[in-house]
């Protein structure tokens, strides 16, 4: 019988443990707050009496925790020998550097870390189209491919254990900023009597940045910042209109003011006639 250990039973770890039970796996779980295992135990999962018992129960240990402080708070409860020969799929979000240090910490104990960055919310675990960034040794991923694919598809980025964390964080950089920009625009809409339902079709169209990304990426790669279709100076004027509209609506203007400040800095550095892609140079400083 296929078997796996899942440590961490927040919404994500619970969804993962349920997905393994759905797929007929023998599932061992451990969580700081043991009561979160109740539903899983009722479905046949085993609640390990200790971290050591959880780690030694299976070759593959899936970690789904808040951050790497939680990872150490838990794993340090087990003796170093418990990890020998194990593969730890660490699907905990944190920085690339912390992912690399954890991989080294596990290697010192004879274990291999596969770092993962899950790209979907818990309800989509085990569903078609769900994907996770992975990085770490190819052979470890291949050995556990079937078990990992119970959760999501695998996007293996390379051997560096920090790479999955990096891709995850740059994705989150876009995700949070983009999502908050939607909420900000909805606040302005509501201040002007426009409901979320009314704004939805327009918001969906505006949030579809595919055309722009596909236009910009090859130009950025080629170092071509010519302002052929838009210019930083236009961005300054446009963001001033946005900020004035926001303020006239009585809504907090700190988000558009930050964007306007970036455009103004680029213009002040002499890039007014260049494409918006020049912001990358300003941001890297």
Ligand X SMILES: NC(=O)c1ccc[n+]([C@@H]2O[C@H](COP(=O)([O-])OP(=O)(O)OC[C@H]3O[C@@H](n4cnc5c(N)ncnc54)[C@H](OP(=O)(O)O)[C@@H]3O)[C@@H](O)[C@H]2O)c1
Nearer to ligand X, 176 or 209 (CB): 176
E-strand stretches of the chain: 3-7, 26-30, 46-47, 60-63, 87-90, 112-118, 131-135, 153-156
- What is the closest distance, in whole angstroms, from the C-beta atom of residue 118 to ligand X in the complex? 4
Q: Site for ligand X (CB under 6 A): which residue of 5, 64, 90, 277? A: 64
Task: Give the C-alpha separation, 5 to 28, whole Å.
Answer: 5
Whichever of 28 and 93 has its CB closer to ligand X, that residue is: 93
Nearer to ligand X, 92 or 115 (CB): 92
Q: Does residue 9 interact with ligand X by CB under 6 A?
A: yes
Kindly state the smallest distance separating residue 283's Cβ from ligand X, in Å.
24
Q: Each residue of 237-255: b (16+ CB within 10 Å) or e? A: eebeebbeebeeeebebeb
Least separation in angstroms between residue 3's CB and ligand X is 20
Residue 268 DSSP one-character state: I
Residues in the interface with ligand X (CB under 6 A) total 22
Q: Please, are residues 102 and 68 in contact by the beta-carbon 8 Å criterion?
A: yes
Q: Which stretch binds ligand X (CB under 6 A): 60-68, 102-110, 204-212, 216-224?
A: 60-68
Mapped onto helix, strand or coil, the DSSP state of residue 61 is strand
Judged by CB under 6 A, the chain residues 83 through 142 that form the site for ligand X are 91-93, 118, 121-122
Give the nearest distance from C-beta 97 to ligand X in angstroms.
16
Distance CA 284, CA 129 (A): 34
Residue 126, sorted as left (phi over 0), alpha (psi -120 to 50) or beta, turns out to be left
Please state at what angle helix 163-191 crosses helix 254-266, rounded to 10 degrees: 120
Q: How far is the CB of 33 from ligand X (least distance, A)?
A: 3
Closest to ligand X by CB, 13 or 96: 13
For 165, counting Cβ atoms within 10 Å of its Cβ (0-12 exposed, 13-18 middle, 19+ buried), the class is buried
Q: Find the part of the chain contacting ligand X (CB under 6 A) among 59-67, 151-159, 214-222, 273-281.
A: 59-67
List 4, 5, 6, 13, residue binding ligand X (CB under 6 A): 13
> Please, what's the b/e burial string for 168-192 (b: 16 or more CB within 10 A of its CB; e: otherwise)?
bbeeeeeeeeeeebeebbbbbbeee
Residue placing its CB nearer to ligand X in the complex, 12 or 242: 12
Residue from 2, 3, 23, 66 touching ligand X (CB under 6 A): that is 66
CA distance 18 to 121: 14
Q: Which of 3, 23, 32, 137 binds ligand X (CB under 6 A)?
A: 32
Options 52-60, 65-73, 158-166, 243-251: segment touching ligand X (CB under 6 A): 65-73
Site residues (vs ligand X, CB under 6 A): 8-13, 31-33, 36, 64-66, 70, 73-74, 91-93, 118, 121-122
């Amino acid at each position: 019988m296929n078997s796996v250990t899942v440590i961490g039973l927040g919404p994500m770890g619970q969804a993962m443990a349920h997905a393994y039970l759905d797929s007929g796996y023998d599932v061992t779980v451990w969580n700081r707050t043991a009561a979160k295992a109740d539903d899983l135990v009722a479905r046949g999962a085993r609640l390990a009496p200790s971290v050591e018992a959880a780690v030694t129960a299976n070759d593959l240990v899936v970690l789904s925790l808040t951050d790497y402080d939680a990872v150490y708070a838990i794993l340090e409860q087990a003796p170093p020998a418990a990890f020998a020969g194990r593969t730890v799929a660490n699907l905990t979000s944190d920085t690339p550097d912390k992912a690399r240090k954890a991989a080294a910490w596990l290697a010192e104990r004879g274990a291999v870390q596969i770092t993962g960055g899950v790209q979907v919310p818990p309800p989509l675990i085990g569903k078609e189209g769900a994907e996770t960034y992975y990085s770490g040794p190819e052979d470890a991923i291949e050995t556990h491919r079937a078990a990992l694919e119970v959760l999501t598809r695998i996007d293996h980025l390379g051997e560096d254990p920090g790479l999955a964390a990096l891709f995850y964080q740059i994705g989150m950089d876009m995700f949070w900023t983009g999502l908050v920009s939607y909420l900000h625009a909805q606040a302005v809409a509501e201040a002007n009597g426009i409901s979320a339902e009314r704004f939805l079709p327009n918001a969906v169209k505006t949030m579809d940045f595919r055309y722009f990304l596909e236009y910009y990426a090859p130009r950025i790669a080629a170092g071509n910042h010519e302002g052929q279709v838009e210019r930083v100076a236009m961005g300054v004027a446009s963001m001033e209109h946005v900020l004035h509209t926001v303020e006239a609506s009585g809504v907090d203007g700190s988000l558009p003011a930050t964007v306007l400040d970036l455009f103004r800095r680029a213009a002040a550095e002499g890039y007014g006639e260049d494409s918006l892609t020049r912001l990358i140079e300003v941001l890297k400083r």
